[in-house]
Chains A and B, each alone.
Chain A
Amino acid sequence: MDPRLLEILVCPLCKGPLDYRKEAQELVCKPCRLAYPIRDGIPVMLEDDARALGAEEE
């Protein structure tokens, strides 16, 4: 993943910063408790496609 990407990429809902989870290929917004998938190298920054974080997930 291009390191430049995370510099300007934010959560589309709260506009806050994202955590990149390399193994899961996800971008996580902790306040919104959403994980946005990265598919074929393209971040899918749509609420409807995001995975809700489980209660025990950090």
Chain B
Amino acid sequence: MSADAVSDTWEQGSPYERYIGRWSRRIAPGFLAWLDAPANLRWLDVGCGTGALSAAILDRCTPSGLMGVDPSEGFLGLAAQHLGPRALLRTGSATALPLDDGSCDMLVSGLVLNFIPEVSAALAEMKRVTAPGGAIAAYVWDYADRMEIIKRFWDVAAALDPEAARLHEGVRFPLCQPDALQAAFEASGLDQVATTPVEVTAKFPDFDDYWAPFLGGQGPAPAYLMSRSDEQRAEIKARLAAALAPDAGRGFSLAARAWAVRGRVPDAT
């Protein structure tokens, strides 16, 4: 099949798609290139959501099998439409995976780890279902620094409202740093743990292309924005526009960076 046959089916966008989906989908290929996995592995995508990472796996990695697990039936319904019969999907939790021991060779999880309350329990489950010698790999947004699409919003919001600083994902998710990811993977008993940045450039033709998705209310920053009064919203918009697009007629670019981590499941002893 052609390289983009699966992933192109997302082009029409929900608010989430316009907000984050369009950038997260572009991170997936860089992450998979870093993993550089051989063909014919059994892949498992934990927290597969609507299937953006799974689509990239089908496009690029020639898996012998692909399973996706997510707690949301709604997301999985969309994933089933996008991915078709090549992916086996089931509703499930990362901390109680409904899969047999050693049932995959390559376990991946995209932009999910920081949302799991018990990361060590999830990593223990991931290790259980991954075969000895297999790998576990994940990536999360660099909320604290170079996920600028979100960070720049919070910088402006926090300058106006001290409460907003508390909601900034960079503060809420200390796991989203290379040292913390490395430590979490090593603590779960994985070998050869490594991290790397994966970054794409988000180009916005005008300020509205950046701003409109925040009005969709999906995600912490948009939800915060929609909880403000019309006046407060207008103030945030004016300050952001001045900071990001001082020349109204021209586009601008922001970084969207994720931290990726990988580790190897030790051989059985």
Contacts and interface: CB of A to CB of B under 8 A. Distances in A.
Determine if chain A interacts with chain B. Answer: yes
Given A42-B91, A46-B93, A15 B73 contact: no
Contact of B80 (A8, A13, A42, A44): A42
Contacts of B80: 40-42
B97 A5 contact: no
Contacts of B88: 2, 4-5
B115 to A, nearest CB: 16
B76 A45 contact: no
Contacts of B101: 15
Contacts of A44: 73, 90-91
Contact of A9 (B73, B76, B90, B93): B90
Interface string A1-20: 01011011111110100000
Contacts of B76: 42
A44 B74 CA distance: 12
A49 B91 CA distance: 10
Nearest to A11: B98
Size category of the binding interface on chain A: 20 to 34
Interface in B39-93: 65, 67, 69, 71, 73, 76-77, 80, 85, 88-93
B90 A45 contact: yes
Q: Which 7 A-B pairs have the closest CB atoms?
A: A45-B98, A12-B96, A8-B103, A45-B92, A12-B98, A44-B91, A43-B90
6 contacts: A2-B88, A9-B98, A11-B98, A45-B90, A45-B98, A47-B96
B134 to A, nearest CB: 14
A57 B73 CA distance: 27
A8 B100 CA distance: 5
Size category of the binding interface on chain B: 20 to 34
B100 A12 contact: no
Interface in A17-56: 36, 39-47, 49
A3 B121 CA distance: 30
A7 B100 CA distance: 8
Contacts of B77: 40, 42
Nearest to A41: B80
Nearest to B95: A12
Interface in B175-212: none
A31 B158 CA distance: 52
A15 B71 CA distance: 18
Contacts of A5: 88, 90
Given A2-B88, A4-B88, A43 B98 contact: yes
Nearest to B91: A44
A42 B100 contact: no
Given A2-B88, A40-B80, 19 more contacts: A4-B65, A4-B88, A5-B88, A5-B90, A7-B100, A9-B90, A12-B93, A12-B98, A15-B101, A39-B73, A40-B77, A41-B80, A42-B76, A42-B90, A43-B91, A44-B73, A45-B90, A45-B92, A46-B71
